[in-house]
Amino acid sequence: MNPASPAPEIVPPQLDGVKTNTSYTVRTEHQKAARELYQTARTRLLDVNHWKDISGRQSAVFTLTDSDGHFARRLAREGDLIRISIPGPAAADGQEYDWVQVERIFEASGSHHKTAYIGMRVRPVKAPDKIPEEVSHFFTDDATSSFVVEKRGKLVRASVYGRNEQPNTTVTRLGAVARNLLVWLGALLGFSKMQWKSLVRGILRD
């Protein structure tokens, strides 16, 4: 498995800004164990409401909502929103949260179930029912995060691919630009990498 070559169905090309790859791989004893781990990991990837539980105390809090911002107690679907509460300064719209939308979920499997793949791509969006209509996230809406679980033979891998990550400096609210630059700098220094490392390990935890 090569983490530098993710599937184009989910991960867009890198055009500008920062690019990150974060992966964790488990080698199982046999293919049956790999299939079982993959199914567990697949559910964990889509079960956004429990990402903090599997990532640890220092994790951001992720909450799944429908497209109108109402809490959703289920697995993620295309069009859903994810509300993010990260440790640190207030979000881009002056409120407590950053927001992304589930833009695409893609799933495929090979013959005899020797290979399997699921990916979910999210993109920054405005907070539901917020005015002005500005992206409520520290990255611009050119940025994406793609969450992937794959199985090949006895190997199962969980990954997060960040693409085109740039600070959201077009917001008009007082202090939002400075806050977004501060969080973006933290991402450059590796804080977001720590978050995603904890998540991919949690997705594949026994």
**Position 186 pLDDT exceeds 90:** no
Which is more confident, 27 or 109?
Answer: 27
Using CA atoms, how far apart are residues 171 and 134, in angstroms rounded to an integer?
6
DSSP string, 96-161: S-EEEEEEEEEEEE-GGGSEEEEEEEEEE-BPTT-SS--B-SSB-TT-EEEEEEEEETTEEEEEEE
Residues 177-196, mean pLDDT to the nearest whole number: 68
- Per residue in 72-125, pLDDT (tens digit) is 999 999 999 999 988 765 544 446 688 999 999 999 998 777 899 999 999 999
Using CA atoms, how far apart are residues 122 and 83, in angstroms rounded to an integer?
11
Using CA atoms, how far apart are residues 35 and 152, in angstroms rounded to an integer?
9
pTM reported for the whole predicted model: 0.88
> Which tokens in the block code for residue 14?
């890198």
- Per residue in 130-151, pLDDT (tens digit) is 756 777 777 888 999 999 999 9
What is the CA 108 to chain-centroid distance, rounded? Answer: 19
**Position 56 pLDDT exceeds 80:** yes
Q: What is the pLDDT of residue 94?
A: 47
> Which tokens in the block code for residue 140?
């611009």
Domain ranges in the chain?
23-203
- Per residue in 105-117, pLDDT (tens digit) is 999 998 777 899 9
**Position 4 pLDDT exceeds 60:** no
With H, G, I as helix, E, B as strand and everything else as coil, classify residue 67: coil
The model's confidence at residue 191, banded by pLDDT at 50, 70 and 90, is low
**CATH architecture designation of domain 23-203:** 2-Layer Sandwich (3.30)
